[in-house]
């Protein structure tokens, strides 16, 4: 597939539109979901609050962007953009179905992770640039969290890549096609001959936890722990600066859910092998996003040391063991 400028522009526009629409309506979904969980209505004016996201958007955009005195202006302005832009760029490589993909490249996984690590950068700049003690503390927390959760996440991805033999997200999806028994989450894969991988459900779990942590979602939302650090790294942000952080968070959630779907749940494949297509992909990512929302409104927040211990003492050893096991199994079968 050759990438002309025209194609690239269209791809980016669609990616931005998809990300923005998702961000706006996931906020509504989250608030409705929270309302449901907490036995209250949530936003419900005009047809389930369908106009709530545009209203929020208008409110945020018409507000004045305040830059606190003494803040580093450049960093302060760059940080929200840096939170949003990589998330949108990541959409370019995500295959929604066999044919719907903006630009399929053979290092798709790598690219998404490269962009994802910008997220930590954005938080660091926001906290540092806004000259707020709470902001700096949150930034330090969030960066150490992002770094320690990228390690088990990447090791798990390497496991999947080893099993598939490709870093192309489309290839990875295609290799799992043909029904639920071929998906990477299941220990037994029968695609090309018999293949036993008993650790894959655990890999899935590790990846799921890591993507919760990478997107700074509860119970790992230490970067914006509101009862300790007021609003964390975006304490000083108002108007669209805050809006971009918010949208970036939801765009990252969509990307996390998409990655889980592609790497473990067979992408656009139907569980029974019938009618594969984009609808299965969307169904899977929204189910995963719902589980994110569910977790957020059920669990209290962890502590920073509990979080780091979980990564370094539990997740990384397990995922390393898993990597070795997979390598061994690949050699055997």
Partner 1 sequence: MSGPIHIRKDETFTLNVGPQHPATHGVLRVKMEMDGEYIVKAETVLGYIHRMHELMGENRTYPQVLPNLSRLDYLGAMGYTHGHVLAVERAAGIEVPERAEYVRAIMVELNRVASHLFWFGAFVMDLGGFTPLMYAIEDREYILDMLEAVTGSRLTYCYFRFGGLYNDVDDDFVNAARAFIPRMRKSLKKYDALVTGNIIFRKRLENIGPISAEMCRKYGATGPVARGAGIDFDVRKNEPYSVYPEFDFDVPVYHECDSLARYKVRMDEMEQSLRIIEQGLDKLPEGPIMPKKKPKLIKPPKGDYYQAVETARGSFGIRIVSDGTKNAYRFKLRSPTYSNMSLFDEACEGMMIMDALAMMGSLDLVIPEIDR
Q: Which residues bind partner 1 (CB under 8 A)?
A: 34, 37-40, 133-134, 137, 140-141, 218-219, 221, 225-228, 230, 297-306, 309
Are the C-beta atoms of 187 and 201 separated by less than 8 Å? yes
In 10 A of CB 299, how many CB atoms?
Answer: 11
Shortest reach from residue 20's CB to partner 1, in Å:
26
Report the residue number, 34 or 154, with the smaller CB distance to partner 1. 34
Smallest separation (angstroms) from partner 1 to the CB of 229: 8
| Closer of 141 and 170 to partner 1 (Cβ) | 141
- Give the nearest distance from C-beta 221 to partner 1 in angstroms: 7
Residue of 222, 249, 223, 261 whose CA lies nearest to 86: 249
Peptide bond into 257 cis (omega under 30): no
Closer of 235 and 326 to partner 1 (Cβ) = 235
Give whichever of 4 and 227 is closer to partner 1, judged by the CB atom: 227
Looking at the Cβ atoms of 284 and 301, the one nearer to partner 1 is: 301
State the nearest-atom distance from the C-beta of 134 to partner 1, in Å: 8
CB of 261 to partner 1, least distance (A): 26
Positive or negative torsion for Cα 18, 20, 25, 27: positive
DSSP H helical ranges for the chain: 5-37, 45-49, 52-62, 73-91, 108-129, 133-164, 169-175, 200-214, 226-229, 239-264, 278-296, 304-309, 316-332
Q: Supply the minimum distance, in Å, between the C-beta of residue 311 and partner 1.
A: 14
CA distance 239 to 42: 23
What Cα–Cα distance (Å) separates residue 130 from each residue in 42, 98, 135, 237, 243?
Answer: 32, 44, 7, 8, 16
């Amino acid at each position: 597939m050759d990438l002309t400028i025209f194609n690239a522009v269209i791809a980016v526009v669609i990616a931005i539109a998809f990300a923005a629409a998702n961000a706006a309506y996931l906020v509504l979904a989250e608030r409705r979901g929270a309302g449901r969980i907490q036995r209250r209505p949530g936003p419900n004016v005009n047809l389930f609050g369908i106009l709530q996201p545009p209203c929020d958007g208008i409110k945020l955009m018409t507000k004045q962007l305040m830059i606190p005195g003494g803040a580093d202006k450049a960093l302060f302005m760059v940080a929200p953009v840096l939170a949003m832009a990589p998330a949108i760029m990541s959409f370019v490589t995500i295959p929604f179905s066999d044919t719907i993909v903006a630009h399929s490249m053979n290092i798709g996984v790598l690219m998404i992770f490269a962009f994802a690590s910008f997220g930590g950068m954005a938080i660091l700049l926001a906290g540092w640039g806004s000259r707020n003690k709470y902001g700096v503390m949150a930034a330090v927390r969030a960066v150490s969290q992002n770094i320690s959760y990228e390690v088990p996440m990447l090791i798990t991805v390497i496991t999947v890549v080893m099993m598939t033999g490709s870093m192309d997200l489309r290839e990875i999806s295609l290799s799992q096609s043909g029904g639920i028994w071929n998906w990477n989450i299941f220990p037994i894969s029968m695609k090309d001959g018999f293949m036993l991988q008993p650790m894959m459900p655990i890999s899935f779990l590790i990846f799921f936890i890591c993507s919760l942590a990478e997107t700074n979602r509860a119970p790992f939302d230490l970067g914006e722990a509101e009862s300790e650090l007021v609003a964390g790294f975006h304490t000083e942000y108002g108007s669209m600066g805050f809006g971009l952080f918010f949208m970036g968070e939801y765009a990252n959630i969509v990307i996390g859910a998409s990655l889980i779907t592609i790497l473990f749940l067979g992408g656009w494949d139907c569980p029974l092998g019938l009618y594969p297509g984009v609808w299965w992909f969307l169904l899977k990512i929204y189910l995963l996003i719902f589980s994110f929302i569910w977790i957020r409104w059920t669990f209290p927040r962890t502590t920073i040391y509990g979080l780091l211990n979980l990564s370094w003492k539990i997740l990384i050893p397990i995922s390393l063991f898993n990597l070795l096991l997979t390598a061994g199994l690949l050699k055997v079968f």
